[in-house]
Structure 1
Amino acid sequence: MKVGILAGGVGSRLSEETQVKPKPMVEIGGMPILWHIMMHYSCFGHNEFVVALGYKGEYIKKYMVDYCSLSSNLTVHLKTGAVEMADAYRPDWKIDLVDTGIPTNTGGRIKRLQPYMGNETFFLTWGDGVSTVDFDQLLAFHKSHGKLATLTAVRPPARFGHLDFEGDQVQRFTEKPQTAEGWINGAFFVLEPEVFDYIDGDDTQFEKEPLERLAADGQLMAYRHEGFWQCMDTLRDKLRLETMWQSGEAPWAMWE
């Protein structure tokens, strides 16, 4: 089953990194967050990716073209130009890299992926968030209800530490847990091809009119994910994910 990934946004809230690279190429543990997302899907056997490019899309193209050589030991024969690669992990991925325009909104990017998706159910996500979503369970839930769209509802991470009291005494302090109340769109979708009909054009924001119309038509369902989820909107988010990775406690690294 194909996986669409939106990787074309400017990422202005992470400008410390995105002035020179697109946000999906910001690294966690020395690898782009886009790679982490693709590895997660690959754990569940989904190895066909369609990536919507926009801002600095050439950076992603070059990385994918050079991926095998960058992750291998190389023997270079300067006289002939021959390059031999050895001792590398090469994931069995097929990746379509699709230019969808720099100013194009999220819905427009999705619409432009239609020729690559075929007339089949597909996954969709943004290129800036990691989680422990079980894609087998997500897909089974989607198939069970027969609607056009499933989004993954998640608990947002709290911005500050959480305190439990007994009187004035602190019984428990938890540093930045996920909140226990409220749900948000975690941007891990399963969609039927009819969803493309809900997108008008390049200026359409997928999170607005298309999802609102799908909900009004009774065609939008939510898969509730209680586990780990974290988007990388800011430098603070990036540093949090990096700290988790370096500590060996990165829950999204299900391939480890």
Structure 2
Amino acid sequence: MSRQFFVGGNFKMNPNTVAEKRALTDLLNQAHLDPSVEVVVSPPFLWLIPLKEIIRPEIKVAAQNCYFKDSGAFTGEISPLQLKDAGIPYVILGHSERRTLFHETSEVVALKTKAALAASLSVILCIGETLEQRETGQTTKVCSEQLQAVVDVLTEADWSKIVIAYEPVWAIGTGKVATSKQAQDTHADVRAFLSKAVSPAVAQSTRIIYGGSVNKGNCKELSVQPDVDGFLVGGASLKPEFVDIINSTLNK
């Protein structure tokens, strides 16, 4: 079945100034973007609503994280209901930086995913292995275990609002990138896991996107892989080449 290509830009803790944010927004607002691609950008929390108000309406805005409670005494957190009320349709959950730097377990990511879906948010769910795990042949095992925690708390219908982002930890911000074959093989394994753990229908309909040093130079080769349904872009989403990545499927 045909799955809509998806390109997300994870700005992380960037840009640093209002002027830089405005320049990036102007770039995206003025660019010719492939209308067949779903585009989502994810700024720091401070700029979620201001960015949503000035960016072109066909580009959606995502939060970079949320908590699994709707309200309460949780200083520094933001709830799924607050995001929903603010008109933010997407949230990124399970990013490797959250798992490693902030010690989020797969079970916590699963709780957050369930809470986000309950608030009618869509989720960009990140999974991926370390270099050591890749080199010892554990990629499929690690990705399956990270997904299984989410499978355990969701219904089959919930998966219609999830985009899976495979992001090998060893390729995030390192300049290294999985080869097109490595990406395709892992995406195919993830799809096979979904078929067994959830259903063949969910496996076929769920978009699995690649993240890990995606740039203008490698996006076209990656985009033609049958199980690569788009990208979650880090550093390159802050540069003009983000437009080229969004348009990577044009004329393919």
What is the TM-score normalised by the length of structure 1?
0.30
Task: Choose between structure 1 and 2: higher strand proportion.
Answer: 1
Task: Choose between structure 1 and 2: higher helix proportion.
Answer: 2
Point out which structure has higher relative CO (alpha carbons under 8 A, 6+ apart).
Answer: 1
Whose radius of gyration is greater, 1 or 2? 1
